[in-house]
Amino acid sequence: MSEKKQFKTESKRLLDLMINSIYTHKEIFLRELVSNASDASDKLYYKALQENINGISREDMDIFLSIDKEKRTITIEDHGIGMDHDELEERLGTIANSGSNEFKNALEKGVDNVDIIGQFGVGFYSAFMVADKVEVFSKKYGEDKAYAWVSDTSDGYEIFESGLDHHGTKIVLHLKDNTEEENYDEYLSQYEIERLIKKYSDYIHYPIKMEMTVSKKKEDSDEYEDVTEVKVLNSQVPLWKRNKKDITEEEYNDFYKSKFNDFTDPQRVMHNRVEGNITYDSLLFIPSQVPMNYFSSEYEKGLQLYSRGVFIMDKAKDLVPEHFRFVRGLVDSQDLNLNISREMLQHDRSMKLIADRIEKRIQRELEDMLKKDREEYVKFWKNFGMQIKFGIYHSYGMLKDKLQDLLLFYSANKKDYITLNEYVEAMKEDQKDIYFASGETVEKIDMLPACEAVKDKGFDILYLTDNVDEFCLQMLRDYKEKTFKNVTQGDLNLESEEEKKELEQKTTDHKDLLDAIKEALGDKVVEVRLSSRLKSHPVCLTSSEGVSFEMEKVLNAMPE
Ligand code: ADP
Ligand code: MG
């Protein structure tokens, strides 16, 4: 029995966009469907390993493509885990993938430039960029019944029982009619399909096969004849297994964008092969912009984990430390036990060794960037510097030695970001402390009366504008034996002995006035006193040692 169902509102919007898309890179539909087929094969292979199911080998799990020129269809067939009735409904009826989620967010924010479509990993729905009818036949591994999911409009879809003689999924795309602008027939060319697989899906580690008609020379004759043969289109060598020097920047970028659903090239690529105690390949990326969901609970840190090219898990969170949670990428190691459960992996010694190396690798990359390419580093810092500062804070300073030299702060003198080391190097002979001031913006801090006296002495001040900054400095306690001093807090000890005496004298002279002000202000202040920290301003507020004004603000704003 067939049931007609409606798409969820957001899916309908995404579909409408796909159907009416004028996006020029429609060809990515093939990449998306092939990668789904590969994911489904991975899932089955992994299940077989976990549950010791015999008779499932990777060699049997090919992905088969076929073209029917008469019917104008393209078929993509896999022998993966398949979907049952409810899964067809849930997974194809709603926007599932994280890429499309970001896309959805973009839509909600009112971005309606359809040109960005293909840059998100929009997954299954991208089929509707080239097809006006999509049929999905699927049989879940271990079940008897197969079902079809069919849709030819953005209004809805039907699900009904249908035949499929193997577990896995078969997707049939009915190509749209050609228009003046768009010739969909190009996807009916076997060479075009071959080209697209080579371009986008070469590294997929299952053979992608297609029956191809090729012209062959007849034996004992000069004549040629058309023969059909099944050809494997992809090399199946994952990008990370290839030699670094043979990989172009564009290949890395394309790989990153399609795998991690980003639409901008990464800022940095780290590709390494490590041999020794433990052997692995790692391919890591620093994004060049903050992912849209980075500050939401939706964002999960972690690296993809492979063992001998077999996908094991998506977000192995123990592989990257919290302070580098922005790094995306993957690790492939032959030293990992494939049968190990996900929970066990956490305590696995090899995993710990890898995680340790990965952390050092990222650290080295950042140090290197800071040293050799300040402009790039500042860009990185604006994106993810917060994470490093949180790292110091959350570790109660345990990460001080590792991270302190990666920190940047805005310098009043330089009017630019500087490192703590640069601050200390530029310190005046008579300067003992590292001064800082906090506020909402650089401009606002610049106007703080309390900064004046320090600047007057020619001492630099670090301007702290992030909530975490002061907490971070507090955890550091000092840098190269210089303590951090808040210009609005406590005694700055900037005066000479003479000036101090003068101040004492003045205080005695004006005791009555000071007492009167204290009385008028009552409990609002602890003390009213004359200060030498002021130059052109009549008064300023300061706090005693301990929690500063800015920290108090942050603490008050925190949920209980
Ligand atoms: P993503 O792949 O990022 O999860 P997609 O939109 O590409 O998002 O696919 C949505 C979901 O549909 C997948 O997560 C998967 O559960 C299911 N799916 C799609 N294609 C297949 C397939 N060939 N075999 C099994 N499940 C599939
Ligand atoms: Mg997908």
Q: What is the mean pLDDT of residues 404-430?
A: 96
Global pTM value: 0.72
**Backbone φ and ψ of 281, nearest 5°:** -110, 140
Residue located via tokens 């970028």? 253
What's the gap in Å between 48 CA and the centre of ligand 2?
21
Q: What percent of the chain has pLDDT over 90?
A: 51
pLDDT digits (tens, 9 = 90+) for 504-535: 888 788 888 878 888 888 888 777 777 766 66
Lowest mean pLDDT among 119-128, 131-140, 305-314: 119-128
Best mutation site among 39, 137, 314 for ligand 1 pocket (most ligand atoms within 8 Å of CB): 39
CB environment 45-56: b (16+ within 10 A), e (fewer): bbebbeeeeeeb
Is 427 labelled a binding residue?
A: no
Taking a 5 Å cut-off on Cβ, the residues next to ion ligand 2 are 36, 123
Kindly give the pairing relationship between strand 434-438 and strand 461-464. Answer: parallel
Lowest mean pLDDT among 9-18, 150-159, 235-244, 462-471: 9-18
Q: Which one is predicted more confidently, 494 or 32?
A: 32
Count how many Cα atoms sit within 13 Å of the Cα of residue 545 in the half-sphere of its side chain: 6
The SS3 assignment for 269 reads strand
Best mutation site among 36, 83, 157, 208 for ligand 1 pocket (most ligand atoms within 8 Å of CB): 36
Q: What is the mean pLDDT of residues 385-407?
A: 94
What's the gap in Å between 352 CA and the centre of ligand 1?
31
What's the gap in Å between 244 CA and the centre of ligand 2?
27
Best mutation site among 28, 89, 95, 124 for ligand 1 pocket (most ligand atoms within 8 Å of CB): 124
Structure tokens at 50: 């976990």
pLDDT digits (tens, 9 = 90+) for 434-459: 999 999 999 999 988 888 888 888 99
How far is residue 158 from each of residues 89, 153, 267, 472, measured CA to CA in Å?
Answer: 9, 11, 44, 56
ipTM metric: 0.99
Lowest mean pLDDT among 8-17, 173-182, 523-532, 541-550: 541-550
The SS3 assignment for 210 reads strand
Lowest mean pLDDT among 180-194, 303-317, 475-489, 516-530: 516-530
What's the gap in Å between 33 CA and the centre of ligand 2?
7
Nearest one of 446, 411, 438 to 426, comparing CA atoms: 411
For ligand 1, is residue 80 a contact (CB within 6 Å)?
A: yes
Q: What is the mean pLDDT of residues 145-167?
A: 92
Q: State the Cα–Cα distance between residues 387 and 383, nearest whole angstrom.
A: 9
**Backbone φ and ψ of 140, nearest 5°:** -70, 145
Largest Cα separation within the chain, whole Å, is: 120
Q: Which of the listed ranges 10-24, 252-266, 388-402 does the model predict with the highest average pLDDT?
A: 388-402
- Asked if pLDDT for residue 57 goes beyond 90, the answer is no
Quick one: pLDDT at residue 342?
A: 63
- Asked if pLDDT for residue 114 goes beyond 50, the answer is no
Q: State the Cα–Cα distance between residues 307 and 319, nearest whole angstrom.
A: 14
How far is residue 34 from each of residues 123, 256, 297, measured CA to CA in Å?
Answer: 10, 17, 29
Q: What is the mean pLDDT of residues 161-174?
A: 96
Quick one: pLDDT at residue 181?
A: 85
Starting from the CA of residue 92, give the closest ligand: 1
C-alpha angle with apex 201: 67 to 102, nearest 5 degrees? 105
CB 44 within 8 A of CB 60: no
CB 372 within 8 A of CB 346: no
Give the DSSP per-residue string, 81-116: ----HHHHHHHHHS--SHHHHHHHHHHHTT---GGG
| CA 213 distance to own-chain centroid | 42
What's the gap in Å between 127 CA and the centre of ligand 1?
12
Nearest one of 82, 93, 96, 210 to 137, comparing CA atoms: 82
Quick one: pLDDT at residue 308?
A: 78
What's the gap in Å between 354 CA and the centre of ligand 2?
28
Nearest one of 194, 177, 66 to 131, comparing CA atoms: 177
For ligand 1, is residue 262 a contact (CB within 6 Å)?
A: no
For ligand 1, is residue 37 a contact (CB within 6 Å)?
A: yes
pLDDT, mean over the chain: 86
**Backbone φ and ψ of 478, nearest 5°:** -150, 170
Instruction: Return the axis-axis angle of helices 511-521 and 497-509, rounded to nearest 10°.
Output: 70
- Asked if pLDDT for residue 252 goes beyond 80, the answer is yes
- Compute the Cα dihedral for 93, 97, 99, 103 and give only its sign: positive
Q: Which DSSP symbol is given to 7?
A: P
For ligand 1, atom 21, the nearest C-alpha belongs to: 36
C-alpha angle with apex 146: 142 to 151, nearest 5 degrees? 140
Structure tokens at 116: 């960005």
